[in-house]
Structure 1
Amino acid sequence: MKVDIDLEVDVNGEGIFHVNKINSVSTAINHSSGFSQEILSSFSVRLNKLFSKASVKSTAEPLKVIFHDLTGGEEAFELVARFCYNNGRIQITPANTCILYCIAQSMEMTEEISSSPSLIKQAEKSLEGMSYWSWPEILTALKQCQDSYSVSNTLGILDRVLDSLVARITTASDTSPSGSSPEASGYRISFDTKSSLSTKNSYQRAWWFEDLVILNNETMKKLVNKLVSQRVEHVTISRYLFYYLKCKCSDPTSEHKREVIETVIDLLYPLNRYSVSCKALFDVLRLSNSQSLSICCRDRLENMIGSQIDQVTLDSLLISSPARADSLYDVNLFLRILRHFLDSEGRTTFARLKKVGALLDLYMAEVAPDSCLKSSKFVALATALPDVARDSHDAVYRAIDMYLEVHNRLSEEEKLKICSGINYKKLSPEACKHLAQNSKFPSRTAVRALLYQQSKIKSLLQESSCLKSMDGQRRVSSDEEQIVLYAKKLDPSVENEKLKAHLQGMQWRVMELEKACRKMQNQMAKMMKNKTSNSVISRSLPKLCS
């Protein structure tokens, strides 16, 4: 039997619905029910206006309606059609509430046109019972809202679903991998050992992490903002963000990596810095190397790392340089991170500064053998931190020694600039002796090191000559004694004549100081002979003068 078609509806190019005059419908995908053009328009203001404007000149040709980007697509339109044919009745469940609410709003299915309860009102009543929905039902509703993000966000239904979701997260126990949720059968507990992510503290998963990886960027941002507003621990939030990023970027064909990375960085930035794993931030940094992040976003990432750089190890810092760069490691990156560390107001304590100083010494030793590393970059490393960051400059000297060993064609001026990073006052006697005999260093640096050692010896001897009282003197410590003995044994066999003269002059002055000390000893001995036998026994003289 031939069926007369009076309406043809194309929904988003997904399917075509054929409506006939005898109250039946069929689609290109083999759905069928019984409703007509008049029935559809009796429940929808939008359809009523659309059909009333259309004038069908020939009954032989059906009216054609094309919907572009109709909320909910083919599935939603069929639900609306069935609602209309059943005289305004349909079974509304958590599985279809959101999609029905959105399509009803889009099609203007209000009580303005129908005396029976509108689809909007019925869907609204179902939404009011959302607090009783199971976790899987909330996830289904969330997915529907996400698929129709623009409409669901505008209508506020997405916020309502997310609020319900966050309420479950904040009330459910998250303390035990096997702990039950308010609806144990509905929740998917995500603690397992299958994923390598679970072995890293940074990505330790809460029970809800895996379920919410399905979110797109916009929905995920709204979720995180709600978690923050509900005072969920920042540690938990940061771990979710790292887990989300890892899952989203594991697909090498993903075209949205940069967008995901930037979104995660922007959401991590306002969190408490000590709740965000610095090691995990370095993972993000490595992941972003192949992406062209915005300058602002990259600066935020480096700022977060810099504010807690004292918490990492050398391995984290050894990041390869970008393509076509001269050096092996990205020294410029490390210098920027150091600047952020120094700029972190109120957080750069003396103890933290010492840790970063030790870390920088290790880094310099690691990059020094790189034959492509420019001297200007090495100088920048050596002078990056204030002097108080180091008690000793022996490690700086060793790193510079390695650098000069590899870069043996530097000019005298370049070598002097590199050596400007050494504080000669903080070199040990052994390092000074090594420097004095090191032909790789400019002669002026060797002389300067010896001069500082000379002044140190002179200061010690001056201290040793001061008597605490008429019958005693302060002891010279064993460390000071070793410095003096070392000064007497310095090897003057250095090629540079000026350096030889300095060494000889220094030894001569040490001998003069020793003569003065012996003279003081003789004077003290005479004083002691004049004392009575019951005098208090005098204290021993400094070992230097014995």
Structure 2
Amino acid sequence: MLGAPEKLSTLFLGGQITDQLINLLSYREIEELLPKMSDSNRNNNNNENQNLISVSSEPDLHINIKGVPFHLHKEMIAKRSSKVSLLLERNEMDELRLILRDLEVETEAFELVARFCYGLEVRFSSDNIVSVLCIAYYLGMNEEQSSDNLLRKASEFLEQRVFPCWNETVNALRSGDKSLDKLADVGLVDLFFDSLIEKASYDPRLLGELVKNREEESDDYRPNPRRRLFVKDWKSEDLITIPLRLYEPLMIRAIKSRSIPVEYIVLSVCKYAKKWVFDAEESQLGQRREVVEAVERLLPHPRGLISCEFLFESLKHSIWLEASSECRNGFGIRISKQLDMAKSTDLKILSQGYREKAESFEDIELVKTVVMSFYSYYANEDSEDVSHFEKVAKLLEEFLFLAASETSLKLEGFVELAEITVTISQGILTYSDGIYKAIDAFLESHRYLTESEKMEVCKVLDCNKLSQEGCEQAAKNQRLPLRIVVHVLYVSQLQIRDTVAKEIKVIGEKVDEDEEEEIGVSSDEDEMEKMSSKLLGLEIENHECVVHRWKKTKKKKNKISVWTQVKRKFGCLTSSSSSVDACTCDFKKKKKKHHHNK
């Protein structure tokens, strides 16, 4: 078994005793090894070493900190701590164990406190400084007990080495999470919050990089060199790593300060939700519920500040996690304000299953709820701007097409969603081409449907609202039921008839208004020939009538040819002439009469 010198050789590095010294060596061994410490350590702690040697050689205070035994000397601890000194006077040393248990002291932090009591070197860091401060505060290791006290040393380290640096501050806040609750009356938490907000106000990018600004980066924001203290390759610690009970009040204070752009606040909150809700383990149900409710409280309400994708994800999770009604309604209200800004892929989130079923269409009830909420919100607005409704109508058509391509979408679900889309587009969109394309996509992805089921799908299609291009495509679509194709052909005939009639009317009006101007007959003839070809191709019933009207118009136009104008100038065509045949030139050469003088 190793003796004291051998133990020291395994723990000694660079002339200093490591942190495990107090746990592994008894006081007698420490007393024997003190002369063997480095000269620097012995000089720095000369007075403490003298006091150390004068006490009893046997440890008389035995404490277990989370299963780790500590064998210490009451006198050494009492000399540094007013609380231990008082307990020792009252013979109530058992109370010390209760104090340490209530503080939830970590073994590493208590080891540093014990080392300080023995006059050994103590190395602070952002990982342990808050815990050490907490122990020193509750044990009364202050100026009243000793001029060289632990509370002062730890406070100086926090002020000079932690608060000037963003990374160290975040790390200390995260590591000292449990201890900070015990220091609420001291105001230490407020100091941490103020320090972080001040730094984020100077450089908001510490909260994260905005995606839209990545291509527009400038040198306006540069990390303060003080923040890079002790960090070789500077990279900001993320606030989303701290627990919710610290993160939420910190963000509330940051919002109230108005010194940090709200876009960066939103960015940080969204990242926090992704880490602790979207990507968290399913087993952490209660924690995820608390986080999603806190996220809803922190997010601002003005439209456009939060992406629709994030809002849809949050609403989906809040429902699945059974969050409070205030939380669910809060996300719903934000969505209703900016549904017109969403994309079809964003809307798809609401109809998908959860977790392992995320790729399948479960139902569309949530989609219906969101759309109704949108119309309820804007129905109360006194604005005449209908652009919001147009965008939502087009959004639903795009979403219907996207959903139709999914084989997991059932017939009943598609029909219900299509009916909602048709209702939304009434009076808003001129054509129903989007509905037709969605029906075609659904028939393509569900080829097993019977003829009657196809008719059920197509019942939402208003063929009369198909554009001419839509009619041409539908007339050739073999996936559509025959009755629908016939109806489309009929609508196509009516559309072309109306188009031809309008063109003839326009031409007639133009002729009447401009009889004195030259009209290019040949180009009009080509136009009318094309229309006639269309009519013949589609076998329009009133083809002969339309062609007859065209010929009549053509005949009328021929009256006003260039030659007619020339003849009128020559005086060969009177204003009362009604036909080309009436234009007979009675031009007679008058013989010149020569008078000869006889």
CA distance 1:481–1:432, change in 2 (3 Å): farther
Asked if 1:224 is matched to 2:251, the reply is yes
2:396 & 2:524 partners in 1: Cα distance? 31
Question: Counterpart amino acid of 1:489?
Answer: G
Of the three residues 386, 390, 393, the one matched with 2:432 is 393
Structure 2 segments unaligned to the other structure (5+ residues) = 1-22, 24-54, 206-216, 571-598
Shift of 1:397: 1.7
* Cross-structure match for 1:266: 296
Please say if residues 528 and 550 of structure 2, whose CA atoms lie closer than 8 Å, have aligned partners that are also in contact. Answer: no
Of the three residues 48, 62, 65, the one matched with 1:26 is 62
CA distance 1:156–1:455, change in 2 (3 Å): farther
* Cross-structure match for 1:441: 484
Task: Please give the residue correspondences for 1:353-372 in structure 2 after superposition, counting only pairs within 5 Å.
Answer: 356=395, 359-360=398-399, 362-363=401-402, 365-367=404-406, 370-372=409-411
Of the three residues 164, 170, 177, the one matched with 1:146 is 177
Please say if residues 258 and 293 of structure 1, whose CA atoms lie closer than 8 Å, have aligned partners that are also in contact. Answer: no
* Cross-structure match for 1:98: 130
Question: Counterpart amino acid of 1:26?
Answer: H
Aligned length: 477
Of the three residues 190, 208, 211, the one matched with 2:236 is 208
Asked if 1:166 is matched to 2:197, the reply is yes
Please say if residues 25 and 36 of structure 1, whose CA atoms lie closer than 8 Å, have aligned partners that are also in contact. Answer: no
CA distance 1:432–1:147, change in 2 (3 Å): same
State the SS of the aligned residue for 1:27: strand
State the SS of the aligned residue for 2:130: helix
State the SS of the aligned residue for 2:538: coil
Please say if residues 312 and 335 of structure 2, whose CA atoms lie closer than 8 Å, have aligned partners that are also in contact. Answer: yes
Shift of 1:253: 6.3
Task: Please give the residue correspondences for 1:112-261 in structure 2 after superposition, counting only pairs within 5 Å.
Answer: 133-153=164-184, 155-171=186-202, 181-183=224-226, 184-187=228-231, 207-209=235-237, 211-228=238-255, 229-248=257-276, 250=279, 252=281, 255-256=284-285, 258-259=288-289
- The structure with the larger Rg is 2
| TM-score normalised by the chain length of structure 2 | 0.58
2:313 & 2:323 partners in 1: Cα distance? 15
Question: Counterpart amino acid of 1:255?
Answer: Q
467-476 vs 318-327, which moves further: 318-327
Please say if residues 432 and 466 of structure 2, whose CA atoms lie closer than 8 Å, have aligned partners that are also in contact. Answer: yes
State the SS of the aligned residue for 2:74: coil
Question: Counterpart amino acid of 1:31?
Answer: F
CA distance 1:37–1:325, change in 2 (3 Å): closer
Shift of 1:255: 1.4
1:526 & 1:477 partners in 2: Cα distance? 15
Shift of 1:142: 0.8
Shift of 1:109: 7.9
| TM-score normalised by the chain length of structure 1 | 0.63
Please say if residues 234 and 271 of structure 1, whose CA atoms lie closer than 8 Å, have aligned partners that are also in contact. Answer: no
Q: Tell me the C-alpha RMSD between the 2 structures.
A: 5.7
Shift of 1:266: 1.8
State the SS of the aligned residue for 2:98: strand
1:171 & 1:361 partners in 2: Cα distance? 47
Please say if residues 369 and 406 of structure 1, whose CA atoms lie closer than 8 Å, have aligned partners that are also in contact. Answer: no
Please say if residues 72 and 103 of structure 1, whose CA atoms lie closer than 8 Å, have aligned partners that are also in contact. Answer: yes
Q: Deviations over 1:465-508 (max 9, x none)?
A: 323514168997999986664344225xxxxxxxxxxxxxx522
Task: Please give the residue correspondences for 1:289-368 in structure 2 after superposition, counting only pairs within 5 Å.
Answer: 291-294=321-324, 296-298=326-328, 300-301=330-331, 307=338, 310=341, 312=343, 314=345, 317=348, 320-321=352-353, 328=361, 330-336=363-369, 338=371, 352=391, 356=395, 359-360=398-399, 362-363=401-402, 365-367=404-406
Please say if residues 282 and 305 of structure 1, whose CA atoms lie closer than 8 Å, have aligned partners that are also in contact. Answer: yes
State the SS of the aligned residue for 1:158: helix
Q: Percent identity of the aligned residues?
A: 18
State the SS of the aligned residue for 2:399: helix
* Cross-structure match for 2:98: 66
1:477 & 1:266 partners in 2: Cα distance? 68
CA distance 1:389–1:400, change in 2 (3 Å): same
Shift of 1:240: 3.8
255-264 vs 214-223, which moves further: 255-264
Question: Counterpart amino acid of 2:541?
Answer: Q
2:525 & 2:401 partners in 1: Cα distance? 32
Shift of 1:262: 0.9
Task: Please give the residue correspondences for 1:507-518 in structure 2 after superposition, counting only pairs within 5 Å.
Answer: 507-508=541-542, 510-518=543-551
CA distance 1:156–1:429, change in 2 (3 Å): same
Please say if residues 371 and 407 of structure 1, whose CA atoms lie closer than 8 Å, have aligned partners that are also in contact. Answer: no
* Cross-structure match for 1:418: 460
Shift of 1:171: 3.4
Please say if residues 93 and 126 of structure 1, whose CA atoms lie closer than 8 Å, have aligned partners that are also in contact. Answer: yes
Please say if residues 468 and 492 of structure 2, whose CA atoms lie closer than 8 Å, have aligned partners that are also in contact. Answer: no
1:237 & 1:301 partners in 2: Cα distance? 17
2:373 & 2:358 partners in 1: Cα distance? 23
2:526 & 2:316 partners in 1: Cα distance? 50
Please say if residues 134 and 183 of structure 2, whose CA atoms lie closer than 8 Å, have aligned partners that are also in contact. Answer: yes
Q: Which has the higher helix share?
A: 2
Structure 1 segments unaligned to the other structure (5+ residues) = 1-14, 57-61, 191-206, 492-505, 536-546
Q: Deviations over 1:418-450 (max 9, x none)?
A: 225972467645146458995153977775665
1:275 & 1:43 partners in 2: Cα distance? 54
2:386 & 2:429 partners in 1: Cα distance? 18
2:91 & 2:109 partners in 1: Cα distance? 24
Please say if residues 391 and 426 of structure 1, whose CA atoms lie closer than 8 Å, have aligned partners that are also in contact. Answer: no
Task: Please give the residue correspondences for 1:470-485 in structure 2 after superposition, counting only pairs within 5 Å.
Answer: 470-471=514-515, 485=533
Please say if residues 460 and 480 of structure 1, whose CA atoms lie closer than 8 Å, have aligned partners that are also in contact. Answer: no
